[in-house]
Chains A and B, each alone.
Chain A
Amino acid sequence: MNQYQLIKLAKRVGLYALIAVVMVYAIFPFYYAVITSLKPSSELFRVDFWLSSLDFTNYVQIFTQKSFVRAIVNSIVVSLSVVFIALLLGITASYALGRVRFRGRTTVMLVILGVSMFPQVAVLSGLFEVIRSLNLYNNPGGLILSYTIFTLPFTVWVLTTFMRQLPMELEEAAIMDGATPWVTITKVFLPLMWPAMATTGLLAFIAAWNEFLFALTFTLTDSQRTVPVAIALISGGSQHELPWGPIMAASVTVTVPLVVLVMIFQRRIVSGLTAGAVKG
Chain B
Amino acid sequence: MASVTLEKINKVFGSTHIIKDVDLSVGEGEFVVFVGPSGCGKSTLLRLIAGLESISGGELRIGEQVVNDLPPRERGVGMVFQSYALYPHMTVYENMAFGLKLAKTAKETIDERVMATARILQLEELLHRKPKELSGGQRQRVAMGRAMAREPRILLFDEPLSNLDASLRVQMRNEIARLHHRLGSTMVYVTHDQVEAMTLADKIVVLRDGRVEQVGSPHTLYQQPATKFVAGFIGSPTMNFMPAELMEGSASGCQVRAPGLGELALPQSGDDQRPGAGLTLGVRPEHLRLAEAEGNNSFEIVNVEYLGNEVYVYLEPKAGDTLLIHRSEAPSRWKVGQRVALVPELEHVHLFDGNDKALALAKQSQAA
Contact = CB atoms under 8 A, between A and B. Distances in A.
Given A178-B72, A178-B103, A173 B81 contact: yes
Given A175-B72, A178-B102, A179-B102, A192 B81 contact: no
A17 interface: no
Interface stretch (B82-90, B223-231, B233-241): B82-90
A183 interface: yes
A96 interface: no
Interface in A131-171: 167, 169-170
A192 B147 contact: no
B98 interface: yes
A172 interface: yes
Given A169-B83, A170-B85, A192-B89, A176 B147 contact: yes
Given A175-B72, A176-B72, A176-B73, A169 B82 contact: yes
A182 B50 CA distance: 21
A127 interface: no
A43 interface: no
Given A172-B52, A188-B87, A177 B82 contact: no
Contacts of A174: 87, 98
A85 B77 CA distance: 38
A191 interface: yes
A231 B213 CA distance: 78
A6 to B, nearest CB: 47
B326 interface: no
B41 interface: no
Main secondary structure of the interface of A (DSSP, over half): helix
B275 interface: no
Given A176-B50, A178-B102, A170 B72 contact: no
A167 B89 CA distance: 14
B102 A175 contact: no
Interface string B65-87: 00000011100011101110111
A171 to B, nearest CB: 8
Nearest to B88: A192
Given A172-B52, A192-B89, A177 B98 contact: yes
A124 B153 CA distance: 61
Contacts of B85: 167, 169-170, 172-173
Given A169-B81, A169-B82, A178-B73, A183 B102 contact: yes
B216 interface: no
A173 B150 CA distance: 13
B203 interface: no
A51 B81 CA distance: 65
A177 B96 CA distance: 9
Interface string B132-159: 0000000000000011001000000000
**Which residue, B78, B82, B88, has most C-beta atoms of chain A within 10 A?**
B88
B45 to A, nearest CB: 15
Contacts of A167: 83, 85
The size class of the interface chain B forms with chain A is 20 to 34
Nearest to B73: A178
A107 B134 CA distance: 42
A250 B320 CA distance: 86
Nearest to A178: B73
B99 interface: yes
Contacts of A175: 52, 71-73
Contacts of B71: 175
B89 A173 contact: no
Given A167-B83, A178-B99, A173 B72 contact: no
A121 to B, nearest CB: 43
A176 B79 contact: yes
A164 to B, nearest CB: 16
A76 to B, nearest CB: 30
B161 to A, nearest CB: 15
A191 B89 contact: yes
Nearest to B81: A169
Most buried by A among B50, B86, B89: B89
Contacts of A178: 72-73, 99, 102-103
Given A183-B102, A191-B89, A192-B88, A177 B146 contact: yes
Given A178-B99, A178-B103, A183-B102, A173 B87 contact: yes
A174 B150 CA distance: 13
Contacts of B50: 176
Nearest to B102: A178
Nearest to A177: B99
Contacts of A173: 79, 81, 85-87, 146
Given A167-B83, A169-B81, A172-B52, A177 B102 contact: yes
A191 B86 CA distance: 13
B11 to A, nearest CB: 16
B139 to A, nearest CB: 13
A177 B52 contact: no
A211 to B, nearest CB: 34
A177 B99 CA distance: 4
Nearest to B79: A176
10 contacts: A169-B85, A173-B79, A173-B86, A175-B72, A177-B73, A177-B102, A177-B150, A178-B99, A178-B103, A179-B102
The 8 A-B pairs at the shortest CB distance, nearest first, are namely A178-B73, A177-B99, A169-B85, A173-B85, A191-B89, A169-B81, A178-B102, A176-B79
Given A173-B81, A175-B52, A177-B150, 20 more contacts: A167-B83, A169-B85, A170-B85, A170-B87, A172-B85, A173-B86, A173-B87, A174-B87, A175-B71, A175-B72, A176-B50, A176-B52, A176-B77, A177-B99, A177-B102, A178-B73, A178-B102, A179-B102, A188-B87, A191-B89
